[in-house]
A and B are shown apart, each in its own frame.
Chain A
Amino acid sequence: AQSVSQHNHHVILSEAASLELGCNYSYGGTVNLFWYVQYPGQHLQLLLKYFSGDPLVKGIKGFEAEFIKSKFSFNLRKPSVQWSDTAEYFCASIRGNNRKLIWGLGTSLAVNP
């Protein structure tokens, strides 16, 4: 069955530290990948998405993610985090023509000022 794994459940960083959140998917065919963010008390928002083309995807608020097909990975990165990046981050995938979005369990990020 298709699955999405997020390795870090809780991450605590200081401001200006670099961030990398891991995401691995299980399906080897055509896959669409997403990172969503949920700030405290707010709804889920799309950070970035990958469908095809350049495997390095730029998103909002300085986030980027790299699709590495050989590693089945789509890790989220930000070179310098801010306190306002404190949120829950979810990786998700859609396989080929299957429109069902498969979610990771999420990573809770806390950034200390």
Chain B
Amino acid sequence: EAGVAQSPRYKIIEKRQSVAFWCNPISGHATLYWYQQILGQGPKLLIQFQNNGVVDDSQLPKDRFSAERLKGVDSTLKIQPAKLEDSAVYLCASSLGTQNSPLHFGNGTRLTVT
């Protein structure tokens, strides 16, 4: 089966610029997650979608971060404007959404804000 696809792999921007990341989950996976992984730390959940609805966005900095999954399949995560502390790897993961289903991760997008 094809895995979780993310693009771009790398992005370098200046602070105050905007950036967008794209994720295409595994076909049939109802649940989609965006995580932020800062170097040396575990992944931090930014937002969780069930189909096209938001389940949890409690840790999403909503003043600058936004995410959508309009058709319940692929998703975009946007940062506007970016700050230096946003430098991290942004991981997309998907799962079937049932209680015992594990998460499958994409390769991530490494963002550097200068």
Contact = CB atoms under 8 A, between A and B. Distances in A.
Given A32-B100, A97-B99, A44 B105 contact: yes
A36 to B, nearest CB: 8
Interface residues of A, number: 20
Given A44-B105, A100-B56, A90 B45 contact: no
A22 interface: no
B105 A106 contact: no
Interface in B35-77: 40-45, 48, 55-56
Given A34-B102, A43-B91, A43-B107, A100 B45 contact: yes
B108 A43 contact: yes
B100 A101 contact: no
Interface string A31-62: 01010100000111110010100000000000
Contact of B103 (A42, A46, A104): A46
Which size class do B's interface residues fall under? 20 to 34
A67 interface: no
A97 B41 CA distance: 25
B105 A45 contact: yes
A43 B102 contact: no
B42 A90 contact: yes
B31 interface: yes
A42 B107 contact: yes
B55 A99 contact: yes
B43 A44 contact: yes
A44 B31 contact: no
A104 B42 contact: yes
Given A34-B102, A43-B106, A49-B100, 13 more contacts: A36-B105, A44-B105, A45-B105, A49-B102, A51-B99, A90-B42, A99-B55, A99-B99, A100-B48, A100-B56, A103-B43, A103-B44, A106-B41
